[in-house]
Every structure is written in C-alpha cells, then in structure tokens.
A and B are shown apart, each in its own frame.
Chain A
Amino acid sequence: MEILVATAVGVLTASGIYLVLRQRTFPVIVGISLLSYAVNVFLFATGRLVINAPPILNKYEDVPYTDPLPQALVLTAIVISFGMTAVIVMIALSSYLTNRDDRIDMIDDAGEDA
C-alpha cells in the first residue's frame, strides 16, 4: 500500500514538474494543480496510512484512530490551493487577454510591455 501511495505521489510530482516547465500558461496551471495533489497527498501520508480508523471519536468502545493532525492541515491546504489556482488562472487569463499571448517567458518581442 505504501509503495502505491509513494509511487502515485512520485508520478503526480513528476508530471506536475514537467508541466510547470512548459511555456504556455495553461499547462503550467494544470501542472501546479497536479503538484497540489501531490503535496496534499504527501502531507496526508506523513500521518502514515491507516485503514478503517477515521479520527472520529467513538464514545462507546476503544478503537484505533489515525493521526488527525495532517488531515486538518491538508483540509485547509485543499481549500487554499483552490484559492491559489483561482488567482493564477485569473492572472494568466488577464495577461492573455491583454497581450493576446499566453507564453510565460518574457524574452522576445512581448518582453517590453508584458
């Protein structure tokens, strides 16, 4: 199980990095989203993998619980990554609409006024 999660995180990270290194805004945004998944799952996994032990206290019997703390961190991280994605989407979109160009490198002709 651990190997599955680890490799999945690895694949997500690698794909995310590859897309982040592309030269147009949209793939970069998709890449950042993939990296967000990877980071969230990674953070979650620091609580170790436990099946059937949600951190919902059982008042009547003694049952094992998984680590709740990474979950709380990741929960807010998920919501914040939505906010971040939304902001970069808007920046990318407004840059595209203004310059009619969605390249992210500012080297050639678009450079001066971009």
Chain B
Amino acid sequence: MSLFLIAALPFLGAILPALLIRAGRNASSSAAGAVSLLAFIGLLLNAPAVLRGEVVTAKLTWLPGIGLNANFMLDGLGLLFAGLILGIGLLIILYARFYLSREDPMGQFYTYLLLFQGAMVGIVLSDNILLLLIFWELTSLSSFLLIGYWKHLPEGRQGARMALAVTGSGGLAMIAGMLILGNIVGSYDLSVILQNKALIQSSPYYVPALILILIGCFTKSAQFPFHFWLPHAMAAPTPVSAYLHSATMVKAGLFLMARMWPVLAGTEIWFYIVATTGLVTMLLGAIIANFKDDLKGLLAFSTVSHLGLITMLLGIGTPIAAMAAIFHIINHATFKAALFMSAGIVDHETHTRDIKRLGGLRHLMPITFTIATIASLSMAGIPPFNGFLSKEMMLEETTHTLWANSHYLLPVIAVLAAVFSAGYSFRYIAHVFLGPKRSDYPATPHDPGPGLWLSPAFLVVLVVLIGLFPNAIVGPLVESATAAVVNDAHPPHFHAKLWHGFTPALYMSMAAIAGGLLVLYAHARLERGWLAARRPEAKQIFDSLMGAATRTSRVITDTLHDGALTRYAAIFVLFSLSLAGYAYFSGTTVTPARGTTDASALPILAWVCLVGATLCVVFFHRNRLLSLVVMGIIGLIVSLSFNYLSAPDLALTQISVEVVTIILLLLALNFMPQETPVESTTGRRFRDAVLAIGGGVGVAGLAYAIMTSNSVFPTISEFHLANSYKGGGGTNVVNVILVDFRGFDTFGEIIVLGIAAIIIYAITEAILSSRVRARLLNRKPTFPQAGDAHPLMMVVATRVMMPIALMVAAYIFFRGHNMPGGGFVAGLIAAIAVIMQYMASGFGWATERQRLPYHGIIGSGVLIAAMTGMGAWFNGMPFLTSAFGYIHLEPLEEFEWATAALFDLGVFLAVVGAVMLALESLARYAWQPGIASEHPMDINPERDDALDELQES
C-alpha cells in the first residue's frame, strides 16, 4: 500500500466514527477499528521490504518554491513507530469501546483518536522536515482534544491546556531549529539532511539548531524540566493516557531524537545535554512515582522516568546504546500500555484510582491482577520479562560511558533510578493487589468482561514472549530500526539474552531489585519524609507564569485595543499616510511624460457638481436623509464621467448599482435615527479634518502622477484588445475580459456576492428571531405615514414597466458580448424591475407572487457558471475556457453563440438573487401586523364599483 494512503487513511477515516455513531457505539468503534486495521495491514505489506533493508518512499512535489514536498519514507525506524502507533491504536480502540460510558460522546472520541493517529503516523513517515513539523503540530492539537475529552472536568481542561502550552511552544522552538537545519543543508528533505553530518556539525548554527530541536523533543517527551505536563494530562480518559503516554505522543520526541541521531548525535554538547537530561529525568521521575497515590499519577511519573532512560541512551551516542534505546521503546510501549489499561480497569471497577483506598484485589480481580503483575515485573526489570532485557542493556551501557571523566557517576545514578523504578513497580503490585481484602471499596470490584482485558492481555503475552525469545520476535525489527537510527546498513548485531553470565550489569540489576524491595518495605517512612520536604510544585509555577503572561498580554491588548473603533481608523489612516509619505520622500519623482487632456465646459460643470455634492454630504452629514439624497448626485456624476471617459459598461453598472444602493440605505435609515448628534470636540474634528485632507491630497497627487505619466512596464491590455475577438468571440473587450479572460475572477466574485447576500439573510433571521422583533412590531413610525401606501398610479405604472424593464434587461444581456452590457448590468436592471413591484404594490403582494426563493436563484447562478466552466473539461480544455461560433440564418443577421453567454447567465442570476435577497431581507424588518393590505391598491375605483354593485343587487 502506498505510504500516502497509510498516512491519509486515519485522517480520511476520522469522519466515519462521528457519522456512524448514529448507528450505535459498535458501528462507530468498528469503523475506527477498520480504518486503523486497514492502515496497519498496509504497513505490514511494506514490512518485508523494509526488513530486507530497503527504504520505501513516496514522493509528491507540493510547494517546491519553499522546499515543501509531501515526501514520505518508510525505513526500519518508521516501521517500528508506525507499527506501535497503529497496532497499539487498534488495541486502544477495542479497549475504549468498553471503557467509555454511555454518557461519553463516543463518535467524537474515535474521531479525535484517528486524527491523532494520523498525525503520529505522519510524523514517523515524513521524509520532509516541513511536512514533519505540520504533523508535529497536529499531534499537539489533536492530543489537546483528546486530553480535554472530558470537557466537564476542570482538571481535564487544565491538563489539556497545559499540554498544549508546553508541547505547542516546544513545537515552535523546533520549527525554528528545523528551519536552521534546513538552511544549513539547503534542503528540507530528511534523506538529504541525514547524509550531511559533517556539514551540519561544523556549522556555527549547529548549536542553536540542536538546542531548539531538543527543546521541541524534550517538551514532547516530557523531559525535565518540561516533564510536569504529563502527569496533569492524566485527567484524560484512560484509553487516551494509555495511547498517548505509552506508545505515541511522548514517544514522538524520542522518535525525532532517533531520527536526527545520525546528524546531531556524537558531539560533546549532544552527549552532555541529552544524556544528562535523560539521567536527571529518569531519576526524578522514578523517585516521584513512588509517592504518587493516584494509580495513573504513579504510571505517569514512571513514564517520565522511562522516557528519561531512553533519552539518556540516545544521548550516549554509541550504536549499541541506540539499539538499547530502540529495544526499550518497544518494551516500554508493551508493558506501559498494559499497565495503563489495567489501571483503567481498576478505576472502572472500583471507582477509585487512589492507592490508599485499594489493596487486596488479587482474589477479586484475578485476571487484572495477572496482567498488572506481569507488566509491573517487566517494568521493574525482573527476568524473564522484556523489561529486564532492555534495562540490563541500559545498565551495561552506562558502565562503558564516561561522564566528565567519571566512570561511576552514570552507573551509580542509573542504578539509583533503577532502585526507585523497581520500588514503584513493586508498590503497584503490593499496594493495589496484595494485602488483605478490604471492605470499603467505593464499588464492589470484579474482573471486567473480555472487552476490557483482552487488549492488555495481548500486550502482556508480548511482554513474556519478547522476554523469552527476543531475537526471534523483535530481532529483525530492532536491527532494522537501529540501522535507520545510526544510518548504517550494518548496525551492531542484536543479541539479547536473559543470561549473560556474571557481568556488572547483572550485579547492578540485582542491586536494583534488592533496593526496590527495600524501598517498598520502607515506603511509609520514606513517604513521611517526602511529604515533609519542601518541594517546588510544577503546576503552581506553571500557573503563575501563565498568569503573568496572560496579565501582560491583557495589559498590552487593552492599551492598544481599547474598543474605540474610530481611534483604530485614525491610526490606520495615519499609518498609511506615513508609509505614503516615506515612499514619497525616499523615492524619485518622475516627470510627467504624458500630456494632459483638455477639459471642455462639460467636465468642468460635472466637476463642480461632484465636488459640491461631496462637500455637501460632509457638511450636512448630520441630516442623514439629505446626505443620502446628495450622495445620489455623486453616483450620477460618477456614472456620467465613466461614460464620458470611454467606459460605457462602467457607466451602466454604476447607475444601476446606485439605484439599489440608495434604496438599501433608505430602507435601513427607516429604522435608524434620522439625525447624527454632535459628539466630537472641535479638537477632534480638527484632527480628523487634518487626516482627511492629508489622505485626500495624497490620493489626488498619486492619481495625478499616474494619469500624467506612462506605464513603467508595458501593460497586458494590448493582449486583451488583440485577442478579444479572435479568442473570445466578442467585440466588447470589457465583457470578454469578465466572462472569458478573467472568468475565474468573475466566478469568485459572484460567489462573494452570493455569500454577502446570505450573510444579510442570516443576520436578518437572527435579529428577527430575537427580542428585537417585538420592538420592531410595536415600532411607531418616525414620520407620519402616507394615507395611500400603494397608490394606484404607481402600481399601474410599475406593472406596465415590468415587462419593458425585463425586456431591456434581456436586451442588455444579449448584446453584452459585443456592445456595452452583460450579465452584471442586466442582473441589476432585472432586480430593479422586481424591486419596483415591491415598492409599488407592497411587500406582501410581491412576496406572494415571487415563487422562486432568492437563495435558489443565487445558487443556480453559481452552479450554471461552474458547470459552464467545467464543460470545458469535456473539450479537453482547462476550467472556464470558452467556445464560440457564428450562426447565419438567412433573413436574419449573422449572430454568435458562445458558452461565455451561458457563464454570463450565471452571473446574471447570481446578481439578481443577491440584490433581491439583500433588499428583501431588509424589507422584512418593516413588517407590522395590519400593514399588508388585502389588495395591491388601497384605493381602487373598480373594486369600489364592484362592491357597490354587489350591495345594490
């Protein structure tokens, strides 16, 4: 199966559980399971090739300009991790089906889980670090959803936020580090980067890149001092904890360290940062875990400790240590997932996770006891389980490693950590399952159904089998993964066995087990000391840091963003003016190379009207109705100017838009205050005037400069003029540009127009269903109303006008391709024809006769335009390529057919629908009971006569 498909399957399948939850919880979980299983099988199909030493790749160039390619590769390391992610994912899906209660939205859970799974698979299969970063951030986001799944629990929400803050900010650091790395090498492809060890390590940017990448890894893998988020993430449902914190999320950091190992490891700074951090984390996590009473808290800190162990092994930097790390990753995933699930079972059955309230469960829950015991012993490093093997390999490695020239530091601390590690593992068994049976469990414990214990049982079987036959079961996988980590086709031979003879590691193991028993024995005393000691509480520190950051950002935001929109607008104008001023004074001035056009009396008259009207709008803007009336003059002059300056299409469009805009504003003004009160101070008005005049002078100067000089570059207009008839079949170049050359733009614009109309409709719906409606219904009109709302003359006139106006619209539409006109103008004219009916005969009358919903008209317009565009595909041409031809029927003039006309029809319909929907929505505000008369005309002599006759007879 293609790697693309493996990576995409969880994402594609994520929708299924959410949909299928309507068919029941089994359908939902089966869908999630089927998706994971399919991806898992796809992965296994690739496994033989990978184990033979090949690297499976899938390449897709995505944005080559910035080096972002959707390249995937599968080598041993990727196979190991993807196998863990998908395999354990399957077990978790089964487990979660029986763990989650009826109240939990299960569809959501599986959707989040699959999203997370997809992101994780994406990380481990990426062959491009930019792609990897995208998946990396996706894991942070999807794990946020999973950790906060129980939205009703404050701990869940806080834990999710903390995890997101820590891993997300670590991710940001890593983005920076990866970009530096990519710049050093000159490629973002992992396979290229991994071949350039010398180049990277000799670069002066090696250290910053390393530190930034490590911050990303350490935050994700909960290394000290970023470890604190992991225990708080335990507020998540147990399946999530088992998945995220045993096999996936926290292993992502380890994966990346392993992935980058060939080029980043092997230096002193790598060793001291990574190995030391791992060592400290391992010890600290192990100690704290002993004093956690929450089952999952104990496991969380034990996870921190084991992650530290693996980090330390990767930090040591030798191939053998890397192999031990890989082996321990497998082992830890198996026993820790089983332990988390067993903790979940205990919680599920006894309704508590508090160790102090548990004990003596071995007879009540024998199956769970067996599972938990085997897994715990493996975690403690007891033979013959798999944890023993990798822990012994780790101990062995520490004896060969010098830390600051000391032979003893590393082994001693490692043994110390192993002591505490054995201690909490024993405690998990002893304090939960052993001891006397109690009578005060919150619920009567008993073993759950197989749905819950099958998954962990399967994992402990693996624990035992790997412990007994390590070389047969995981040998090839470990070797192949190690080969990928050390970037060497011939890695050290994997040869794990239970009995090595009397080696230092064996003595260290024995010391650890003995020490662990001692820790368990002395637990009560140690705990008293621990509780008495003053310890820094990570959550408090985190909360106070976050609180300080929030306060600071709030102060900054409140200062800059005080809610005064006028101030923002003023700052915006001032800033634009400053930029323009800077450009003006730093640039060179071009002398006007183009002559000016002489102005006759007509343009001067128009100018006087326009400027006069504009100034009137400003001076009388407090009288809103008056300012609207004067604005009509401006629109009229602008359209006449367009016509005068060789733009007939613009003139037509402007004048029709003018009509609908003014009607719209008048309708709105009906509900608003008629006057604008004087509010601003003189100083403020002066400031605004200065800004306005500054802006006006700047724009005027710029316009003048453009108009009097020639283009710096040759324009592309010549192309349009030359090809309009030949290529587009029309002589009206503006229309051909709209429906043909730039058809895609036009297509976008009618969609925008449709969206605008639908927004208006939605706002209207929202307002009319709120309490505002009552106020509107009881509104008293501002002005005295006309006695005759629908005057006879007007009704008759508009009825007569209707077909004529529609005829004009049709005429304008059809001539559009060759003469001024087209879909936009025709649409506006048709809309005006309909609006006239609304105005004359009333809203109720018109709505009754308007049988097509305007939404539908908008939609059909967009669809017709889209289908016309797609028609070109059948012709083997790109979207929106038009076709045309000429038809000559004898007595008639030759006429043209063009698919562009069909496209223009779409434009026409969208414009009609949008304009009408907007105005109709606004008109609905005016509806009051009793205003809709029964008849179109309030006074109708014919009706009166008929009534009279009726009465007489």
Chain B residues within 8 Å of A30, by CB: 617, 621, 627-628, 631, 665
Which residues of chain B from 709 to 764 have a CB within 8 Å of any chain A CB?
Answer: 715-717, 720-721, 724-725, 731-734, 737-738, 742, 745-746, 749, 752-753, 756-757, 759-760, 763-764
A9 to B614, CA, bound (A): 10
B562 nearest in chain A by CB position: A107
Taking a contact as CB atoms under 8 Å apart, the answer to whether B672 and A93 are in contact is: yes
Taking a contact as CB atoms under 8 Å apart, the answer to whether B646 and A89 are in contact is: no
Chain A residues within 8 Å of B634, by CB: 12, 34, 37
Chain A residues within 8 Å of B598, by CB: 1
Taking a contact as CB atoms under 8 Å apart, the answer to whether A4 and B679 are in contact is: no
Chain A residues within 8 Å of B599, by CB: 1, 4
A68 nearest in chain B by CB position: B733
Taking a contact as CB atoms under 8 Å apart, the answer to whether A93 and B671 are in contact is: yes
Nearest 6 interchain pairs by C-beta: A10-B700, A14-B696, A83-B756, A106-B563, A6-B704, A18-B692
A113 to B617, CA, bound (A): 32
Is B546 part of the contact surface with A, judged by Cβ < 8 Å? no
Taking a contact as CB atoms under 8 Å apart, the answer to whether A105 and B692 are in contact is: no
Taking a contact as CB atoms under 8 Å apart, the answer to whether A90 and B764 are in contact is: yes
- If A21-B691, A24-B676, A83-B752 touch, whether A65 touches B764 (CB-CB below 8 Å) is no
Q: Give the distance to chain B from A32, nearest Cβ to Cβ, in Å.
A: 10
A79 to B644, CA, bound (A): 20
Chain B residues within 8 Å of A41, by CB: 638, 641
Taking a contact as CB atoms under 8 Å apart, the answer to whether B642 and A44 are in contact is: yes
Q: What are 23 pairs between A and B in contact, CB < 8 Å?
A: A2-B707, A11-B611, A11-B614, A17-B691, A17-B696, A18-B688, A21-B566, A21-B573, A26-B624, A30-B627, A37-B638, A42-B703, A44-B650, A54-B646, A66-B645, A68-B721, A71-B647, A72-B737, A80-B753, A86-B918, A90-B668, A102-B673, A106-B565
Chain A residues within 8 Å of B701, by CB: 6, 10
Q: Give the distance to chain B from A15, nearest Cβ to Cβ, in Å.
A: 5
Taking a contact as CB atoms under 8 Å apart, the answer to whether B715 and A92 are in contact is: no
User: Beta-carbon contacts of B764-780 to A below 8 Å, as 1s and 0s?
Assistant: 10110010100110000
Chain B residues within 8 Å of A93, by CB: 668, 671-672, 922, 925
A76 nearest in chain B by CB position: B749
Which residues of chain B from 908 to 945 have a CB within 8 Å of any chain A CB?
Answer: 911, 914-915, 918, 921-922, 925
B753 nearest in chain A by CB position: A83
Chain B residues within 8 Å of A7, by CB: 607, 611, 700
B827 nearest in chain A by CB position: A79
A97 nearest in chain B by CB position: B772
B725 nearest in chain A by CB position: A57
Q: Which listed segment binds A: B149-157, B257-265, B652-660?
A: B652-660
Taking a contact as CB atoms under 8 Å apart, the answer to whether B689 and A18 are in contact is: yes
Q: Give the distance to chain B from A21, nearest Cβ to Cβ, in Å.
A: 4
B748 nearest in chain A by CB position: A76
Which residues of chain B from 820 to 834 have a CB within 8 Å of any chain A CB?
Answer: 820, 824, 828
A17 to B618, CA, bound (A): 10
- If A65-B721, A71-B650 touch, whether A80 touches B752 (CB-CB below 8 Å) is yes
A17 to B915, CA, bound (A): 27
Which residues of chain A from 34 to 77 have a CB within 8 Å of any chain B CB?
Answer: 34, 37-38, 40-42, 44-59, 65-69, 71-72, 74-76
Is B364 part of the contact surface with A, judged by Cβ < 8 Å? no
A27 nearest in chain B by CB position: B621
Q: Give the distance to chain A from B437, nearest Cβ to Cβ, in Å.
A: 59
Residue with the greatest number of chain B CB neighbours at <10 A, chosen from A13, A55, A58? A55
A65 to B715, CA, bound (A): 14
Is B695 part of the contact surface with A, judged by Cβ < 8 Å? yes
Taking a contact as CB atoms under 8 Å apart, the answer to whether A9 and B692 are in contact is: no
Chain B residues within 8 Å of A50, by CB: 597, 645-646
A66 nearest in chain B by CB position: B646
Is B860 part of the contact surface with A, judged by Cβ < 8 Å? no
Q: Give the distance to chain A from B647, nearest Cβ to Cβ, in Å.
A: 5
A27 to B654, CA, bound (A): 21
A104 nearest in chain B by CB position: B565
Taking a contact as CB atoms under 8 Å apart, the answer to whether A9 and B648 are in contact is: no
Chain B residues within 8 Å of A25, by CB: 672
- If A10-B703, A90-B759 touch, whether A97 touches B657 (CB-CB below 8 Å) is no
Taking a contact as CB atoms under 8 Å apart, the answer to whether A34 and B614 are in contact is: yes
Taking a contact as CB atoms under 8 Å apart, the answer to whether A72 and B738 are in contact is: yes
Chain B residues within 8 Å of A4, by CB: 599, 603-604, 607
Chain A residues within 8 Å of B819, by CB: 56
Residue with the greatest number of chain B CB neighbours at <10 A, chosen from A22, A50, A76? A76
Taking a contact as CB atoms under 8 Å apart, the answer to whether A98 and B767 are in contact is: yes
Known: A10-B701, A54-B646. 20 other contacts (CB 8 A): A1-B599, A2-B708, A15-B692, A21-B692, A38-B699, A40-B638, A50-B597, A52-B646, A57-B725, A65-B721, A67-B717, A68-B717, A72-B737, A80-B752, A83-B753, A87-B756, A90-B918, A93-B925, A104-B566, A106-B564
A106 to B766, CA, bound (A): 22
A17 to B566, CA, bound (A): 11
Chain B residues within 8 Å of A23, by CB: 566, 679-680
Taking a contact as CB atoms under 8 Å apart, the answer to whether A89 and B664 are in contact is: yes
Chain A residues within 8 Å of B820, by CB: 54, 56
- If A7-B700, A10-B696 touch, whether A56 touches B644 (CB-CB below 8 Å) is no
What's the count of A-B pairs with C-beta under 8 Å? 312
Chain B residues within 8 Å of A85, by CB: 661, 664-665
Q: Give the distance to chain B from A109, nearest Cβ to Cβ, in Å.
A: 12
Chain A residues within 8 Å of B641, by CB: 5, 41
Taking a contact as CB atoms under 8 Å apart, the answer to whether A45 and B707 are in contact is: yes
A47 nearest in chain B by CB position: B717
Chain A residues within 8 Å of B604, by CB: 4
Interface residues contributed by chain B, number (CB under 8 Å): 116
Partner of B596, one of A3, A13, A53, A83: A3
A23 to B676, CA, bound (A): 9
Taking a contact as CB atoms under 8 Å apart, the answer to whether B621 and A2 are in contact is: no
Chain A residues within 8 Å of B627, by CB: 27, 30
Chain B residues within 8 Å of A90, by CB: 668, 759-760, 763-764, 918, 921-922
A56 to B644, CA, bound (A): 14
A48 nearest in chain B by CB position: B707
Partner of A1, one of B562, B597, B697: B597
A74 to B641, CA, bound (A): 14
A86 to B914, CA, bound (A): 10
A37 nearest in chain B by CB position: B638
Partner of B699, one of A10, A20, A27, A78: A10
Partner of B757, one of A59, A74, A83, A106: A83
Taking a contact as CB atoms under 8 Å apart, the answer to whether B669 and A56 are in contact is: no
Taking a contact as CB atoms under 8 Å apart, the answer to whether A75 and B664 are in contact is: no
A23 to B510, CA, bound (A): 81
Taking a contact as CB atoms under 8 Å apart, the answer to whether A111 and B563 are in contact is: yes
Taking a contact as CB atoms under 8 Å apart, the answer to whether A1 and B734 are in contact is: no
Chain A residues within 8 Å of B680, by CB: 22-23
Partner of A57, one of B708, B724, B770: B724
B688 nearest in chain A by CB position: A21
A83 nearest in chain B by CB position: B756
Taking a contact as CB atoms under 8 Å apart, the answer to whether B695 and A86 are in contact is: no
Is B237 part of the contact surface with A, judged by Cβ < 8 Å? no
A72 to B401, CA, bound (A): 74
A75 to B823, CA, bound (A): 11
Taking a contact as CB atoms under 8 Å apart, the answer to whether A94 and B569 are in contact is: no
Taking a contact as CB atoms under 8 Å apart, the answer to whether A96 and B672 are in contact is: yes
Chain B residues within 8 Å of A52, by CB: 646
A1 to B606, CA, bound (A): 11
A2 to B603, CA, bound (A): 11
Partner of A56, one of B731, B745, B776, B922: B731
B732 nearest in chain A by CB position: A56
- If A5-B707, A18-B618, A37-B634 touch, whether A74 touches B770 (CB-CB below 8 Å) is no
Chain B residues within 8 Å of A18, by CB: 618, 688-689, 691-692
Chain A residues within 8 Å of B702, by CB: 42
Taking a contact as CB atoms under 8 Å apart, the answer to whether A11 and B696 are in contact is: yes
Partner of A51, one of B615, B635, B646: B646
Partner of B734, one of A6, A10, A71, A94: A71
